[in-house]
Structure 1
């Protein structure tokens, strides 16, 4: 006996709502198609290029946040170690390395199949998480790539939570 399960699709494109959120923040963005939105967000350490993709056939939204940093071939092993250690501490998403251009990025996918769509709060949480984690990793990445510091030392210094402001 086999069961036939009808593939449900989400009718609303989450990128439409994401574009409204981006526009409300006056961020530079480009909507090249119904399935892609590119956004530039200024961070404390660098500018972040955020790419949001909608895959209607599988009902999932993918978000990546590219850090403005290039990794030299000689530092890749240390960066892989850093990303693995950082990923162990994440609840949502993960850091990845793109060998094509030597870039480091944060990635996360939200499956939306079977839901009524995505909420503004979910989009804000998704973007906030990506930016927060990139802001936390960036100093450690710089310490490892340019400062030659040991991974654990760089990660400990960059990932500590501070209280208040100096």
Structure 2
């Protein structure tokens, strides 16, 4: 089904990778601009280093984004990780986790649609990165419990979701 646009004359959004590069530079994060439409960024987190990947798709007016972490899922744990992905994704409001087929690494993915706007705002890009890092930090332990701890997905998610109170 194709939806006919009321305005076929809207100008494409500005390339948001330029804005991403300004934000990344201001935060002094390690990065590489692979092309006009792609950027890789590395950010240290509580559990590991996260690799952010931004891709601008001008024909879709969409900024595709992923945040991955170094954790190769062994073949014998993939079924359990796929079950965990399902449980984790039920808890998300934005984006989703998936397992990259070629590298077997978990990553958080989301797309920012910019049709009808002049481009992405600083706040939108910051929110995108903040949401991804928060969710990766929140669920990283569950992936660890399943992949290296041999835990069942439900048990791993429950253990990872415990919010400690107070100080020891």
TM bucket (normalised to shorter chain) is over 0.9
How far residue 152 of structure 1 moved from its aligned partner, in angstroms, is: 1.1
Match of 1:80 in 2: 82
Q: Give 5+ residue unaligned stretches, structure 1.
A: none
- TM-score normalized with structure 1 length: 0.93
Match of 2:107 in 1: 105
Match of 1:27 in 2: 29
Match of 2:57 in 1: 55
Give CA-to-partner distance per residue, 1:76-102, whole Å, 9 cap, x none.
000000011000000000001111111
Q: Report if aligned partners of 1:94, 1:108 keep a CA contact under 8 Å in 2.
A: yes
Q: 1:78 to 1:126 in 2, by over 3 A?
A: same
Q: Give 5+ residue unaligned stretches, structure 2.
A: none
- TM-score normalized with structure 2 length: 0.91
Q: Report if aligned partners of 2:89, 2:97 keep a CA contact under 8 Å in 1.
A: yes
2:158 to 156, 159, 162: 156
Match of 1:10 in 2: 12
Match of 1:133 in 2: 135
Match of 1:123 in 2: 125
How far residue 4 of structure 1 moved from its aligned partner, in angstroms, is: 7.2
| Secondary structure, aligned partner of 1:80 | helix
Q: 1:112 to 1:153 in 2, by over 3 A?
A: same
- CA-atom RMSD, angstroms? 1.7
Q: Report if aligned partners of 2:13, 2:115 keep a CA contact under 8 Å in 1.
A: no
Alpha-carbon distance in structure 1 between the residues aligned to 2:81 and 2:155 = 13
Q: Where has structure 1 moved over 3 Å in runs of 4 or more? A: 2-5, 160-166
Q: 1:63 to 1:3 in 2, by over 3 A?
A: closer
Alpha-carbon distance in structure 2 between the residues aligned to 1:12 and 1:99 = 31
Aligned length: 165
